Amino acid sequence: MSGMETQIPLPTGRGATPRDQPSAIVKYQPLEGVEDPNRYQYGGFHPVTLNAVLNDRYVVRHKLGWGRFSTVWLAVDMGEGEHYMQNVAIKVGAARNGLTQETAVLERLQEPSSIVPTNVNELIPPALSSFQIHGINGIHPCLVTSVGGATLEQAKWASSQGILRLDVVRILAAQLVTAVAHVHEKGIVHGDLTLSSVLLHLPYDVNSLTHLDIVEAYGPAMLRPVQRIDGQPLTAEAPQTCVEPIRWRPVPEEITPTGARIMLADYGESWTADSQVRCDSTVPDVYQPPEARWDPRTPMSRPSDIWTLACTLWDLVAWYPLFGTWYHGNKDITAEQNAVLGKLPRGWYSQWGRKSSYRRSRFDHENRPIDPEKYPDLEGRFETVVQRCRREMGMATMEEAEKEAFLEMLRSMLKWQPAERLTADAILRSSWMKHWALPEWDRQRMIAASFDQPSGETGEVWLEDPDFFPDWLHFPV
d(CA 337, CA 294): 13
Reply yes or no: is the peptide bond before residue 9 cis, omega within 30 of 0: yes
60 and 48 in contact (C-beta within 8 Å)? yes
Residue 176 vs residues 72, 169, 391, 475: alpha-carbon distances, Å: 23, 10, 26, 26
Q: Residue 464's closest CA among 210, 165, 178? A: 165
How many residues does this entry show for the chain? 477
Tell whether 63 is in a known binding site.
no
Give the integer Cα–Cα distance in Å for 256 and 203.
Answer: 11
- Computed from CA positions of residues 449, 450, 451, 455, in that sequence, does the dihedral angle turn out positive or negative? positive
Q: Which of 72, 174, 157 is nearest to 118 (CA)?
A: 174
What count of other Cβ atoms lies within 10 Å of the Cβ of residue 393? 12
Q: Which residues pair with 134 in a beta bridge?
A: 139
For residue 396, give the DSSP letter. Answer: P
Which bin fits 31, alpha (ψ -120 to 50), beta or left (φ > 0)?
A: beta
User: Read out DSSP for 409-435?
Assistant: HHHHH--SSGGGSPPHHHHHTSHHIII
For residue 188, list its beta bridge partners.
272
Neighbours of 75 (CB within 10 A): 25
Burial class (CB in 10 A: 0-12, 13-18, 19+), 74: buried
Distance of CA 90 to the CA centre of its chain: 16
Closest CA to 193 of 204, 182, 209: 182
Task: Single out the residue of 243, 38, 221 nearest to residue 137, CA to CA.
Answer: 38
Q: Which residue ranges are tagged as binding site?
A: 91
Q: Which residue ranges are tagged as binding site for ATP?
A: 91
